[in-house]
Amino acid sequence: MSARQFVLVVVDCDTREFTIEGLMSDDRPWNRAVVEAQRVGPNLRCFGMGNLTPKAAAAEWQERHGGIRLAAGPIACP
């Protein structure tokens, strides 16, 4: 049985920039990276978006929350 796949949105709440990461089945490395980044200052958060394509997840996030999409990885990387 394969693991459930999902995309993850990583958001810098200070700059309103976000990235879409995935598809993935384990977000623990990303959660650790966000926690480590928060220790030095940025107001980062990450959110699972379910089994969407990265493009669909980005469109949905932008419609609901706005912000600027960056290429995958630059906000926090595991």
pTM, rounded to two decimals: 0.89
The answer as to whether 78 is a domain residue is no
The answer as to whether 10 is a domain residue is yes
The answer as to whether 38 is a domain residue is yes
pLDDT at 2: 63
Residue-range definition of the domain harbouring residue 45:
6-69
- Residues 25, 4: contact at Cβ < 8 Å? yes
The answer as to whether 77 is a domain residue is no
Tens-digit pLDDT profile for residues 5-24: 999 999 999 999 999 999 99
The answer as to whether 47 is a domain residue is yes
pLDDT per residue, tens digit, the chain (78 aa), is 567 899 999 999 999 999 999 999 999 999 999 999 999 988 999 999 988 999 999 999 999 999 999 998 888 877
Phi and psi (nearest 5°) for 60?
Answer: -65, -45
The answer as to whether 24 is a domain residue is yes
The answer as to whether 36 is a domain residue is yes
pLDDT at 45: 95
Number of structural domains found in the chain: 1
The answer as to whether 76 is a domain residue is no
